[in-house]
Amino acid sequence: MRFVKARDYDDMSRKAANIISAQVIVKPNCVLGLATGSTPIGAYKCLTHWYEKGDLDFSQVSSVNLDEYRGLTHDNPQSYYYFMNDNLFSHVNIDIAKTHVPDGTIEDAEEACRQYDETIKATGGVDLQLLGLGHNGHIGFNEPDSVFAKGTHCVNLAQSTIDANARFFASREEVPTQAYTMGIQTIMQAKKILVVVNGEGKADIVEKAFFGPVTPQVPASILQLHQDVTIVGDEAAFSKIASRI
């Protein structure tokens, strides 16, 4: 695991965007695994800026997103489909037909997950997977569990995740309680993984996930077994591991 220290959120965002942009430059037809949440927004802004300057071309890039709330339609501003269009896709020249987010509108969970696994397979595999880190160690919406889930599956969101995400909704009652998420095995199959973390609220889980035992109770801990993981974090998020990196 490679730890890249950033001064603050902006510095973390630029460093993460640099890694993503290097991937796009080196392999223009790459497959990017993308994440939502608040952490990657700054990196998406950098990528947009560099595209506008003419430094980046997304025309051949494909993408697969990690997760989507079950039951939210594409036009719902809280859906991850909407988020990706709003924060990245509508600002760059990516071919929207080559972008993929699990379809939260498919009621039949098994069918939704089966279709998404087919979609990921058809891309030929993820070159670079971007991940945020949940306070309980979740990656995608793989919540703490007794086993590591393999493929795309439907999850009941942990109460702490619902609480953390309530900030994006008008009320806590509106936060969906289920989501479709890429599985841990699929995430681990990405050739490269890039984790972004910021803020002191993530300091404890950063230590547990990357220096604690590998356990499905802390899903991100599995990343310790991946051969090419880069973690870009600000000083606050790395405060508990500073002397070890």
* Active site residue ranges: 67, 136, 138, 143
Q: Which residue is nearest to ligand F6R (CB)?
A: 132
Should residue 219 be labelled a site residue for ligand F6R when binding is judged by CB under 6 A?
no
Taking the complex as a whole, the smallest distance from the CB of residue 101 to ligand F6R amounts, in Å, to 10
Subset of 47-66 contacting ligand F6R (CB under 6 A): 66
DSSP state string for 129-195:
EEE---TTS-BTTB-S-SS---S-EEEEPPHHHHHHHGGGSSSGGGS-SEEEE--HHHHHTSSEEEE
Report the alpha-carbon distance of residue 14 to residue 49 in Å, rounded.
11
User: CB 55 → ligand F6R: shortest distance, Å?
Assistant: 25
Q: Which of 39, 63, 99, 221 binds ligand F6R (CB under 6 A)?
A: 39
Q: What is the number of H-type helices and E-type strands within the chain?
A: 7, 10
Q: How many residues bind ligand F6R (CB under 6 A)?
A: 14
Computed over its alpha carbons, how large is the radius of gyration of the chain? Answer: 17
Among 21, 31, 46, 67, binds ligand F6R (CB under 6 A): 67
**Residues β-bridged to residue 4:** 232
- Can you give the binding site for ligand F6R, defined by CB under 6 A? 35-39, 66-67, 132-134, 138-141
